[in-house]
Amino acid sequence: MRIILLGAPGAGKGSVGRPLSSQLEIPVISTGDIFRSNISGRTKLGLTAKGYMDRGELVPDGLTVSIVEDRIAQSDCAKGFILDGFPRNTFQASELDRILEKANLKIDLVLNVHLSDERIIQRLSSRMVCSSCGESYNRMSKDTSMPGICDLCGGRVSVREDDAPETVRKRLETYYLQTMPLIDFYRERGILSTIDNDCTIEEGSKRALEAVRNALPDHMSGHGRL
Ligand code: ADP
Ligand code: ZN
C-alpha cells in the first residue's frame, strides 16, 4: 500500500506514521528526517537544506524530488511506503505522479491529518525530537523517561530549531500557501481521507488505521492482520 500523509507542520503526521508503518510493515519516508540527518552528518545537501528550513521555507523542489525518487526505488519500498512531508506543493505532486507512472504504481490513500492552528502552536512549543531516530516527545504530554535521552534509541532529545515560535508561524504560512491546495487535488481523485487528530497519539493512530482499512479493497480488509 502506498500512502501520503498530508497535514500542517505539527499536526501529527509523524506520530500517525510510525504505528502505521509497523502495522503495515512498510517504511515511512520523511523528507524532513532525511534533511535533518543530512544536517547532523554535515553533508552538502544538509548545508543547503538548513538555510531554507531555518527560515520555515521549502527546500528547492529539484533537490527534494530527486531524494524521494531515489528512496522510493529502494527494495524496502517494493511492498509500499508512507510519505511524510512529501509532496508539499503542486509541482512535487505532479512530479510524484510522473515517477510513479513510470513504475506503473499509484498512491492508494492520502491521509489528511487535521489539527487547528491553535493546537498546533501549543504542541510545537512543547515538542522535543530525538536527533538519532526522529521520535517525538512532548514536555506536556509525553516526556522522555530520562531527561534529554530517547526512550527508543538512547539518542539525544532536544527542541527542534525550526520549532521556535517565529519559524512555526512562517511554516504554517508556507503550509497554507503551498501545501493546502493538495487537499483538493487529492480529494478530486477520490483518494483523500481526513482524520481529526485532536486526540491522544493512540486514538490518532486508531483513526488512521481505520482510514487505511476503509481504503483497502474488500478482499484484503476482511481478514488477516488488519
Ligand atoms: P513539519 O511537517 O513539522 O514542518 P518536517 O520535518 O516535515 O516538519 O519538515 C521540516 C522542514 O523541512 C520544512 O519546513 C521544509 O523546510 C523542509 N522540507 C520537508 N519536506 C519538504 C518537501 N517535501 N519539500 C521542501 N521542503 C521540505
Ligand atoms: Zn531515538
160 part of the active site? yes
Whole-angstrom distance, CA of residue 106 vs CA of residue 169: 33
> What's the pLDDT band for 92 if we cut at 50, 70, 90?
very high
* C-alpha 74: how far from chain center: 19
Confidence check: pLDDT of 218 > 80: no
The whole-number pLDDT of residue 141 equals 86
Ligand 1 within 6 A of CB of 52: yes
Whole-angstrom distance, CA of residue 130 vs CA of residue 64: 22
79 part of the active site? no
Lookup result for grid cell 488488519? 226
The whole-number pLDDT of residue 225 equals 54
* C-alpha 35: how far from chain center: 13
* For ion ligand 2, residues whose CB falls within 5 Å: 130, 132-133, 135, 150, 152-153, 155
Task: State pLDDT tens for residues 17-61.
Answer: 999 999 999 999 999 999 998 998 999 999 999 999 999 999 999
For residues 225 and 23, is the Cβ–Cβ distance under 8 A? Answer: yes
Confidence check: pLDDT of 219 > 80: no
- The closest ligand to the CA of 93 turns out to be 1
Residues in the chain: 226
156 part of the active site? no
- The closest ligand to the CA of 130 turns out to be 2
Ligand 1 within 6 A of CB of 82: no
The whole-number pLDDT of residue 29 equals 97
- What is the percent of the chain with per-residue pLDDT over 90, rounded to a whole number? 89
The whole-number pLDDT of residue 217 equals 74
Ligand 1 within 6 A of CB of 10: yes
Q: What are phi and psi of 127, to 5 degrees?
A: -80, 145
> What's the pLDDT band for 182 if we cut at 50, 70, 90?
very high
For residues 10 and 116, is the Cβ–Cβ distance under 8 A? Answer: no
Confidence check: pLDDT of 226 > 70: no
Edge to edge, the sheet with strand 192-196 lists: 28-30, 81-84, 2-6, 109-114, 192-196
What the chain holds in terms of domains, given with CATH numbers, is: 2-115+169-222 (3.40.50.300)
Confidence check: pLDDT of 222 > 60: no
Nearest CA to ligand 1 atom 5: 32
